[in-house]
Structure 1
Amino acid sequence: MIQSAQCDYDSPLGRLRLVSNGRALIELRMDAEGLPPVATRRSDAVLDQAVQQLDAYFAGVGEGFTVPVAAPGTDFQRRVWTALQQIDYGQTCSYGRLAAQLGRPTASRAVGMANGRNPIAIIVPCHRVIGADGRLTGYAGGLDRKRWLLRHEGVPVA
């Protein structure tokens, strides 16, 4: 049986908690500030890869993530999360457009709900989804973090 491994990552957005199942990243929590710090972690290639790619992303030299991800969720949620990974760095997409791309043009609210339940923030870039009018809408990590991430990627936001 594969054990999960975890580590904390100090980012410009605060402490993040990364969790791996040994084959893929299964969680990136933004609210790790409220969790007791991880004292040690066993060596895990997935976590090492995620940390290297986050270092590059936050340094402004990495625009994509190739670390394997495997978020637990419903079939629809996983379809939404896969679609999120197709939104290029520095680009945004509306909930309605994402729903239409999934063949469910009237499911923008369901897309929003799945987006809000994304357990692998930043790497599965749910921050790139905005309202149809271009406004920033809800973000599980908080709108300040969403704004920071979009600005970091060069997206002009108010």
Structure 2
Amino acid sequence: MQYTSYYHSPLGDILLAADDIGLTGLWFVGQKYFALYLDQEHVEKETPILKDTKKWLDIYFQGQEPEFQLPLHFIGTDFQKEVWEILYAIPYGKTMTYGEIAGIIAKRKGLKRMSAQAVGGAVGHNEISIIVPCHRVVGSQGSLTGYAGGIDKKVALLKLEGVSMDSFSIPKTGTAL
């Protein structure tokens, strides 16, 4: 059973979801792939995991790095879960490219290369936004692309973390706009 609750952030309302194992979802209301894997049968209820998630978000939106981790429950393919684990390890205030993530996976699997596009698909379907920081993933040339919550939120989250925006650009066209 999944449980849900809403959080009112400075960037808009967020739907949180959790089960008895951990946090399963964090979506900006109306974002691309909104609540894609949320159980049809879910209950709006303030569980301890959801309360802790709100505390984490309160600290985060005050411009600070939360000093505690939340229990997470990834729901997806093995490849998606592998990408999401890498996302989760990207440090606060840092960025990584899709190609760098693809390189990590290729090395782990003993492959010469891995498709950055395949990584992009997994990043785009990340169900636990912000906490699993897909907003920290950028294009190889510094393009701020690929954020299901919208490019404006990606920019705001990076700025909140103190990331210098000097080397980044916003694409004029694309699916992330």
Query: Normalising by the residue count of structure 1, what TM-score does the alignment of the two structures yield?
Result: 0.88
Looking at structure 2, the residues matched to 149 and 95 of structure 1 have their Cα atoms a distance apart, in angstroms, of: 18
2:175 — aligned with what?
none
2:18 — aligned with what?
20
Amino acid at match of 1:16: I
Amino acid at match of 1:147: V
Task: Quickly say closer, same or farther: Cα 1:16–1:43, change in 2 above 3 A.
Answer: closer
2:172 — aligned with what?
none
CA shift at 1:64, angstroms?
Answer: 5.5
Native 8 Å contact 1:27 1:120 kept in 2 = yes
Looking at structure 1, the residues matched to 4 and 84 of structure 2 have their Cα atoms a distance apart, in angstroms, of: 21
CA shift at 1:63, angstroms?
Answer: 4.2
1:91 — aligned with what?
94
Identity of aligned residues (%): 41
CA shift at 1:135, angstroms?
Answer: 1.7
Match of 1:132 among 126, 140, 149: 140
Native 8 Å contact 2:7 2:15 kept in 1 = yes
Match of 1:69 among 69, 72, 86: 72
Native 8 Å contact 2:64 2:161 kept in 1 = no
Q: How many residues align?
A: 152
1:28-62 alpha-carbon deviations (Å, 9 max, x no partner): 11125999xxxx94341110110100000001223
SS in 1 for 2:16: strand
SS in 2 for 1:148: helix
Native 8 Å contact 2:105 2:114 kept in 1 = no
1:79 equivalent to 2:61? Answer no
Amino acid at match of 2:5: C
Native 8 Å contact 1:89 1:153 kept in 2 = yes
CA shift at 1:65, angstroms?
Answer: 5.4
2:50 — aligned with what?
47
SS in 1 for 2:152: helix
1:143 equivalent to 2:151? Answer yes
- Bigger mean CA offset, 114-123 vs 40-49: 40-49
Unaligned runs of 5+ in 1: none
1:7 — aligned with what?
5
Match of 1:58 among 37, 58, 61: 61
Match of 1:120 among 123, 128, 152: 128
